[in-house]
Amino acid sequence: MPQPFPNLPPYLRGRVVCLDHASRVLADNPWGDPAHRDLHVLLPPGYDVDDRRYPAVLLLPGYAGTGEGMLSRGLTDISIASRIDRLIHGIPPDAPAVGPGAFDDAGRIDPTRGCPPFIAVLPDCMTRLGGSQFVDSPAMGAYATWLVDEIMPFVDGRFRTTGRWGVAGRSSGGFGALHLAMTRPGRFSAVVSHAGDMGFDLIWLGDLPRAVAGVQAAGGLGPFMDNCWRPQRWSPEHFSALMIIAMSCCFSPDMDADGPVPARLPVDFETGAVDFEVFELWKRFDPLERVHDPAAQDALRQLDLLFIDAGDRDEYLLHLGARRLSAALSDADIPHIHEEFPGGHRGTAWRWDRSLPLLAEALSRQA
């Protein structure tokens, strides 16, 4: 964020709506997580002026993140709501938050400035294990089904949408965007994956020693699971342990497993021995594996935009995964945009300024 006061004046902003959504498919999930979820919807500037319809975009946060968290503003970052307001008005992020904006004389958005307006939808996919990876799993919950079969129709029924949807996310949210696009053909017209999880053979092995240390510090897997939310401050080892357990429930569920986790685990938390057979189960979800599936390829070919990127020093080596995915997409003649930028895995929210206008333009072409 290049300035301390980025928010536009109230008369230039869109409207943030917080709804309560009662889910059918999340009821009775194995962790007892609530089926009632906050759903934040960002209506674009000008929404209340006339009766025009807008495309909609699911915005998915990374692991341990929430849709609500994307609305926060800090010393070095701008809220996603303010960022979208500026993009729609065509006001650069480093420009002062003053001026007439991009309205025409009737109070409607001037389409000659800024990106096309859209409705942004920020779901809460948090779980007791810190995230859901936006997949369906008996050991976690039916989060993909919730998003596509419940949240999207819920929004379509309450707001003036065109019926055209995009999905975008970063880190685990970027994985989720690709996962939904490849497994729910025809439901999305544009997809953005910022540093999405891929190349599972590279990104998860480094977390295993820290995860083992986190579990052992708690006195074993049972005590860790019983007390994982009690620490006031989480160590990196504690965080890694919860993340590996969450990935296990998402990618290698086993409802008959012994112990407190209904999944096959990729590591023995007592000895540190790695179970590579479990990693083979995880790889079924890896975008680098799934992209070779003809059905997934057909789903991606239907898109009007497929955008992937990563920083060239990503700590999880996701830039290497993005390079491999781009090569596979090119081999399959699937149109896409692949970009690599200077930076690592964190502090990359500014990349929304690049991707969201492309996404909005793609969704508006046939709206």
Beta strands 136-137 and 141-142, pairing class: antiparallel
Q: Which residue among 283, 301, 332 closes a domain? A: 283
Mean pLDDT, rounded, for 158-168: 99
Q: Is the pLDDT of residue 138 over 80?
A: yes
What are the structure tokens assigned to 320, written together? 């290497």
pLDDT band at 113 (very low <50, low <70, confident <90, very high): confident
Q: Does 1 map to a domain? A: no
Residue 183 is predicted with a pLDDT of 99
Whether residues 207 and 298 fall in one domain = no
For 335-348, the pLDDT digits (tens) are 999 999 999 999 99
Whether residues 113 and 186 fall in one domain = yes
Q: Which of 34-38, 100-104, 151-155 has the lowest mean pLDDT?
A: 100-104
Q: Does 4 map to a domain? A: no
Whether residues 349 and 272 fall in one domain = no
Whether residues 210 and 151 fall in one domain = no
Whether residues 239 and 300 fall in one domain = no
Q: Is the pLDDT of residue 33 over 70?
A: yes
Global model pTM greater than 0.75: yes
CATH number at residue 35: 3.40.50.1820
Considering its fold, how many domains does the chain have in total? Answer: 2
DSSP tally for the chain: helices H, then strands E: 13, 10
pLDDT band at 366 (very low <50, low <70, confident <90, very high): low
Q: Which of 185-189, 285-289, 312-316, 362-366 has the lowest mean pLDDT?
A: 362-366
Please tell me the number of Cα atoms within 13 Å of 82 on its side-chain side.
25
**256 Cβ contact partners less than 8 Å away, ≥ 6 residues apart:** none
Q: Is the pLDDT of residue 108 over 80?
A: no
Whether residues 244 and 166 fall in one domain = no
Instruction: For residue 206, give the nearest of 77, 304, 345 by alpha carbon.
Output: 345
Q: Which domain holds residue 188?
A: 10-199+286-364
305-327 in b/e burial notation, b at 16+ Cβ within 10 A? bbbbbbbeebebbbbbbbbbbbe
Whether residues 228 and 80 fall in one domain = no
What are the structure tokens assigned to 162, written together? 């065109």
Q: Does 228 map to a domain? A: yes
Q: Quote the CA–CA distance of 33 and 37 in Å, as a whole number.
A: 10
Mean pLDDT, rounded, for 202-208: 94
Q: Is the pLDDT of residue 104 over 60?
A: no
Whether residues 154 and 59 fall in one domain = yes
Q: Does 3 map to a domain? A: no
Contact by Cβ (8 Å): 54, 44? yes
Q: Does 72 map to a domain? A: yes
Whether residues 18 and 85 fall in one domain = yes
Residue 124 is predicted with a pLDDT of 98
Residue 133 is predicted with a pLDDT of 99
Residue 109 is predicted with a pLDDT of 54
Higher pLDDT, 91 or 267: 267
Contact by Cβ (8 Å): 43, 17? yes
Residue 92 is predicted with a pLDDT of 84
Residue 99 is predicted with a pLDDT of 52
Q: Is the pLDDT of residue 94 over 90?
A: no
Q: Does 168 map to a domain? A: yes
Q: Which residue among 249, 267, 283 closes a domain? A: 283
Q: Does 5 map to a domain? A: no
Whether residues 185 and 279 fall in one domain = no
What are the structure tokens assigned to 135, written together? 């997949």
Is 301 buried (19+), middle (13-18) or exposed (0-12) by CB count in 10 A?
Answer: middle
Whether residues 83 and 17 fall in one domain = yes
Q: What is the mean pLDDT of the chain?
A: 94
Mean pLDDT, rounded, for 183-198: 99
pLDDT band at 1 (very low <50, low <70, confident <90, very high): low
Whether residues 93 and 229 fall in one domain = no
Q: Which residue among 226, 259, 283 closes a domain? A: 283
Q: Quote the CA–CA distance of 165 and 344 in Å, as a whole number.
A: 29
